[in-house]
Structure 1
Amino acid sequence: MWIEEIINSKGTRYKFCERFLVNNKKIKLSVTLNSKTAQAKRKATELLQAKLYDVLNKVEKKQLEKINSLTFIQVANEWLEYTSPTVKIDTRINHKNYVNRIKKVISNMLFVDFTPAVAEKIVSDMYYKEQLSYSYSNSTLIVIKAVMKYAKKSKYVQDISDFIDIRLKKRPATKKEVHKLQNKFLNADELKSCLHQLKEINPRIALAMEFIALTGLRCGEMLALRIQDYDKLNSVVNINGTLLKSARNGEDIQRGTPKNIYSYRDVIINDRAKNILDAIILENKRLASWNGKKYKDRGYIFTNSTGNPFNIQYINKKLRQIKIADKKISSHIFRHTHISMLSELGLSLKSIMQRVGHNDPKTTLSIYTHVTDNMNNEMKNKLKALNF
């Protein structure tokens, strides 16, 4: 506390001043008395404290009014804006989609009415009633918890422990789900049929999907490949980016960072994969030479007729035209197929993880713990040799 002397026609008076921290901001409060004796100082302290309590009460009342009028979605939108600079563009879009999914259920529910029971019911209904995937339902729960953590930081709520304690227990897998898990790869005959059908629809996409089956790249990683990422002499492609799913052709920013730090890697490629790259690069040069007005060389390898990388949604649209019994064909099935081939070759889990850019063994194991026909036949032959 400090004292400022005020002199006017009425005489000398003394302003007792103090700074206080309110809502992380410093504010100045003061009271004016006729003297600066020890007794006056004690009285000034009491008056300043009373003023501070009044300010705090007004702030608390204003904050309470704000909280009582806030909807959960408004808080979620604040969280989206808060996290936006710290996450990738595609992650930002995913977060917004999860918030929109929650909004469909609760509409304009007030934040104070959004209880742990409401949150648990949202994700439980998604998973148990609507039979949505565990990954999608649990990701929604993770977003809810993240919003509540932000709300606590913003002093909209004091205790969020009941939200943090919510767990989504995996239900027993149905026969259909087990079948789906066991059918997210193609055997050799299915792969040949798939590529043959695709060649009739779009030859360049057929080559691109064959390249994924040969290398195990994610589709976005394959589309982000540039000529400088291809080391033909050492038979290696360097993975250092991914194509943004949200990007449109012709946008300045189409290339983002890989999925995680483990996705930065060098991938050894065989002669067939090199032939695919060489053929497409040569074709790109022809397109740029013959039709330079339409084809703009931006350095990408797997491009459409304008020089832009293929759009992932466009690729998957074409892949849905492929007919393979009991198989849902998407760009990712070719990556899973490659992982299955590696497991058939008897490669270690660690080497497979490193090649495909996985950091969690569970992710890799979930793809190749199935027993392929070739592995089954190998087991039968070895079992025949058992004799006691």
Structure 2
Amino acid sequence: MWIEELSNGKFKYFERYRDPLTEKLKKVSVTLDKKTPRAQKTAQAELADKISKILAKKEGSDITFYDLYNEYYKNWSPTVKASSLRGTTANDKRILNKIGKDVKAKNVNRRIIQNLVNEMMDEGYAYSYYNGFKKRFHSILDFGVRMGYLEVNEAIFVKAPKKIKTFDEVQEKRESYLELNDIKKLLSVLRVTPRVEHIANFVEFMAYTGARYGETAALTVDEIDLETGTVTINGTYDRALKIKTTPKTDFSYRTITIPDNIKKIIQEQLELISLHRSVKGNDFNKENYIFFTVNGAAIDLDTLNVVVRRAAEKAGITKHITSHIFRHSHIALLAEIGIPLSAAMDRVGHTDYKTTLSIYSHVTKSVKIDIVKQLNDLI
């Protein structure tokens, strides 16, 4: 440290430090009224504090969690779809509210995160939700490690505890599909009412192809080849933006064969497009969706679920019905007719075998009865 007297009678204290980025010597200063031993000690402490703050900022160790999140989000958000951004909104908002703006990222430790995860579980949130909350912490802190702000990702030590499921809950998950007879009963009820015929066609397509709601809603005329009996799935419907976007995963891109009943449905839908355009003009359903409403728009998921649940109730089906049950039902049908697991995964665009396997392992009762019959025939 050295001292220079100023023209106004005050004293300027200087100290050098080495910039960790440029490796060049730089200096900081502080001005005091006196040059007494006490003043020199004060200056020394203030200079040391200044240097410490400068170095901490350059090394990133003093970054707040809030600033780290914003930097992470700026880098991450352009790499994902709009639907993924919307899906993280609630978790991200909760994380930022719980941590606060001024908390240093390095102080967000495993105990804090674990307590927040446990808190969500105690509040009755579903496992998938509070596990997603934990994963968001992991992604943010992992970015901090990669950028050199943090030495360790504390979220890797956090577990999302699973509640013990009852027998009924396990059975409900295993049986999250409809038997073929129930599918036929449901379709029969839907087809009684002409104004929901388009919903019936939509449901039948999902049940006999295993396509997701978004994939079915986004299906367009140019992705159909009735001569070869194939459908190419290369997109999904974004409900919020009301547009077709890229599919859920890279594995979702696929071309599948379709049975005769689906060929017939598609042909009917193509004829309906021509009929509507002859009356309403060529701008009707200008996106060329195969399945559409009377206004030419894509079929809304909420409307679909409401109509199907009412029909299921009339058909005497007690299972909880959402559009996704038809995807699971198709997997069950594939198991019933003996399609190999890997072929079923390719058909429905699954990368993780767990979902497909769980349905295969709990295949329909008729198959189990048939297995016993065949074993008895061997005796």
* 1:75 and 1:111 in contact (8 A); partners too: no
What residue number does 1:350 align with?
342
| Range 217-226 or range 74-83, more displaced | 74-83
What residue number does 1:39 align with?
none
| Equivalent residue pairs, number | 337
Which amino acid counterpart does residue 342 of structure 1 have in structure 2?
L
What residue number does 1:36 align with?
none
Query: Match of 1:202, SS?
Result: helix
In the alignment, the residues of structure 2 paired with residue 87 and residue 131 of structure 1 have an alpha-carbon distance, to the nearest angstrom, of: 29
What residue number does 1:297 align with?
286
Shift of 1:175: 2.1
* 2:285 and 2:292 in contact (8 A); partners too: no
Shift of 1:302: 1.1
Give the RMSD, CA atoms, in angstroms. 3.2
- State yes or no: 1:57 paired with 2:46: no
What residue number does 1:35 align with?
none
Shift of 1:197: 3.3
- State yes or no: 1:283 paired with 2:272: yes
TM-score normalised by structure 1 residue count = 0.76
In the alignment, the residues of structure 2 paired with residue 352 and residue 255 of structure 1 have an alpha-carbon distance, to the nearest angstrom, of: 25
* 1:138 and 1:168 in contact (8 A); partners too: yes
Change (3 A) 1:80 1:312: farther
Alignment of 1:142-157 (within 5 A): 142-153=135-146, 156-157=149-150
Change (3 A) 1:262 1:159: closer
Change (3 A) 1:353 1:224: same
Which amino acid counterpart does residue 185 of structure 2 have in structure 1?
S
What residue number does 1:267 align with?
256
In the alignment, the residues of structure 1 paired with residue 190 and residue 255 of structure 2 have an alpha-carbon distance, to the nearest angstrom, of: 28
Which amino acid counterpart does residue 138 of structure 2 have in structure 1?
K
Alignment of 1:7-26 (within 5 A): 22=21
* 2:345 and 2:353 in contact (8 A); partners too: yes
Shift of 1:340: 0.2
In the alignment, the residues of structure 2 paired with residue 101 and residue 376 of structure 1 have an alpha-carbon distance, to the nearest angstrom, of: 47
Query: Match of 1:321, SS?
Result: helix
For residue 321 of structure 1, the aligned residue among 301, 304, 310 is 310
For residue 76 of structure 1, the aligned residue among 69, 80, 90 is 69
Change (3 A) 1:293 1:356: closer
Alignment of 1:59-208 (within 5 A): 59-60=54-55, 67=62, 70=64, 72=65, 75-102=68-95, 106=98, 108=100, 110-112=102-104, 114-127=108-121, 129-130=122-123, 132-153=125-146, 156-160=149-153, 162-199=154-191, 200=193, 202-208=196-202
TM-score normalised by structure 2 residue count = 0.78
In the alignment, the residues of structure 2 paired with residue 198 and residue 126 of structure 1 have an alpha-carbon distance, to the nearest angstrom, of: 40
Which amino acid counterpart does residue 346 of structure 1 have in structure 2?
G
Structure 1 unaligned blocks of 5 or more: 1-18, 32-51, 249-253
Change (3 A) 1:61 1:203: same
Change (3 A) 1:146 1:123: same
Query: Match of 2:100, SS?
Result: coil
What residue number does 1:40 align with?
none
Alignment of 1:326-341 (within 5 A): 326-341=318-333
Q: Alignment identity in percent?
A: 30
In the alignment, the residues of structure 1 paired with residue 110 and residue 295 of structure 2 have an alpha-carbon distance, to the nearest angstrom, of: 51
For residue 212 of structure 2, the aligned residue among 218, 230, 246 is 218
1:204-260 CA deviation, whole Å, 9 max, x = no partner? Answer: 011101111111111111111111100110000011111123223xxxxx1111122
- State yes or no: 1:381 paired with 2:376: no
